[in-house]
């Protein structure tokens, strides 16, 4: 739907309705964050950051990185390039030392994300099979030097993030629905006909199944990122229609029931968001879900039960968010300036404590705590 411009009185009323902040104890900080970043001295790297903003390692990357994921039962961390990049590495979580490279076939490029199987044996990477205009998961054997052993069709175009569900080990894939080709850079080639979807790969399966497609009126809501807590899946979306439209940007679905619940923002924040959501995460209890809205310059938080909006954190180009160490806790970062934030979110409001990281000029879109 379209909206009329808000009056000054409406803007002030909306701001006044936001929850008050509460204090955040220093003990809420997780010990280490692993993420990709642009360095203050130039160049890109995967970095390990401690609770005080110091760096435990800095491993150079050839270009801008994107998502990072740790291997269950081990200290391997996989990092792959953002679209349409082609580099992929496995590094040591404590030192950043490169342990393996992930060499793609000539007709593939990465979409920026990866996930391990529950036993840590296999690594899955989201990829564009641009020779046949379809999305795939590349499958790599972590027990054999990360040899590429298979591909799985993603049941959609533009698979961006893949996440593993802890309950049954299934993989959940956010298919953005947007067709691209490396010859055209990052140009989107099929916006009038795009069809985003959420797909699932059951443990041991060699094929995916499509489990969620939004109504036709919302077909331009590109599904991009996924977070999972027990039986609940959160999907963060980016709207490819007019920025003047107000549309829901977070969908919650139960892994046993694919009917989505759509979460709303207060109108003043919805207008600021430019209909674009970045990363998404649950807190450790699964009672709060948070998302980065980098084009709007803030993070937003909701109660999972009932979908109540809890509050927001101002953060220029704020995108990356991950679960923190306790109920209601998150860790966030920004793409403008090098800062890590420890967040507390609950029914009595949202608060953040920022820690500067001098070595970093700008964090990328995702992190791992």
pLDDT in tens, 231-251: 899 999 999 988 888 899 999
- CA end-to-end span of the chain: 38
pLDDT band with cut points at 50, 70 and 90 for residue 30 = low
- Residue 310 burial (10 A CB sphere; 0-12, 13-18, 19+): buried
Which pTM does this prediction carry?
0.89
Give dist(CA 120, CA 141) in Å, integer: 9
Token pair recorded at residue 345: 């979110």
Share of the chain above pLDDT 70, in %: 91
Comparing 28-37, 113-122, 144-153, 350-359, the range with the smallest average pLDDT is 28-37
What is the phi/psi pair of residue 74, to 5°? Answer: -150, -175
Mention every residue, 6+ apart, whose C-beta is less than 8 A from residue 42: none
pLDDT tens column, 112-136: 999 999 999 999 999 999 999 899 9
Asked if 295 and 318 touch (Cβ cutoff 8 Å), the reply is no
CA distances from 142 to 118, 145, 149 (A): 12, 6, 10
Cα 247 to chain centroid, rounded: 19
Checking DSSP bridges between strand 288-293 and strand 280-282, what pairing results, if any? antiparallel
Class of domain 65-213: mainly beta
- Rounded CA gap, 267 and 263, in Å? 12
More confident residue, 282 or 336: 282
From residue 143, how far is each of 6, 148, 280 by CA, in Å? 57, 11, 30
Q: Residue 243's pLDDT is what?
A: 82
58-82 burial code (b ≥16 CB/10 A, e <16): bbebeebbbbbbebeeeebbbbbbb
- Phi and psi at 319, nearest 5°, equal -130, -55
Q: What is the three-class DSSP state of 143?
A: helix
Q: Domain locations in the chain?
A: 65-213
């Amino acid at each position: 739907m379209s909206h009329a411009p808000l009056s000054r009185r409406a803007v002030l009323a909306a701001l006044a309705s936001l929850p008050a902040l509460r204090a955040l104890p220093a003990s809420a900080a997780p010990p280490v964050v692993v993420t990709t970043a642009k360095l203050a001295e130039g160049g890109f790297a995967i970095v390990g950051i401690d609770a005080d903003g110091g760096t435990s390692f800095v491993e150079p990357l050839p270009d801008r990185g994107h998502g990072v994921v740790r291997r269950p039962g081990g200290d391997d961390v996989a990092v792959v390039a953002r679209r349409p990049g082609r580099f992929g590495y496995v590094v040591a979580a404590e030192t950043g030392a490169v342990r393996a490279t992930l060499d793609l076939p000539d007709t593939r490029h990465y979409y920026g994300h990866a996930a391990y199987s529950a036993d840590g044996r296999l690594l899955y990477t989201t990829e564009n099979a641009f020779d046949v205009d379809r999305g795939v998961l590349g499958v790599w054997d972590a027990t054999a030097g990360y040899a590429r052993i298979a591909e799985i069709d993603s049941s959609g175009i533009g698979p961006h993030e893949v996440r593993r569900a802890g309950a049954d080990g299934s993989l959940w894939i956010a298919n953005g629905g947007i067709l691209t080709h490396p010859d055209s850079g990052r140009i989107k080639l099929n916006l009038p006909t795009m069809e985003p979807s959420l797909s699932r790969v059951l443990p041991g399966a060699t094929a995916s199944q499509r489990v969620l497609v939004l109504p036709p009126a919302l077909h331009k809501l590109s599904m991009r990122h996924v977070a999972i807590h027990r039986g609940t899946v959160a999907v963060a979306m980016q709207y490819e229609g007019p920025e003047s439209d107000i549309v829901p940007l977070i969908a919650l679905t139960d892994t046993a029931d694919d009917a989505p619940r759509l979460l709303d923002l207060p109108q003043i924040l919805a207008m600021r968001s430019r209909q674009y959501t970045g990363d998404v995460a649950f807190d450790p209890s699964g009672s709060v879900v948070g998302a980065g809205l980098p084009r709007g310059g803030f993070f937003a938080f909701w109660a999972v039960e009932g979908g109540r909006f809890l509050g927001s954190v101002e953060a220029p180009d704020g995108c990356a968010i991950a679960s923190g160490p306790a109920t209601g806790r998150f860790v966030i970062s920004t793409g403008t300036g090098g800062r890590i934030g420890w967040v507390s979110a609950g029914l009595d409001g949202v608060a953040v404590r920022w820690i500067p990281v001098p070595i970093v000029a700008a964090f990328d879109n995702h992190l791992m705590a």
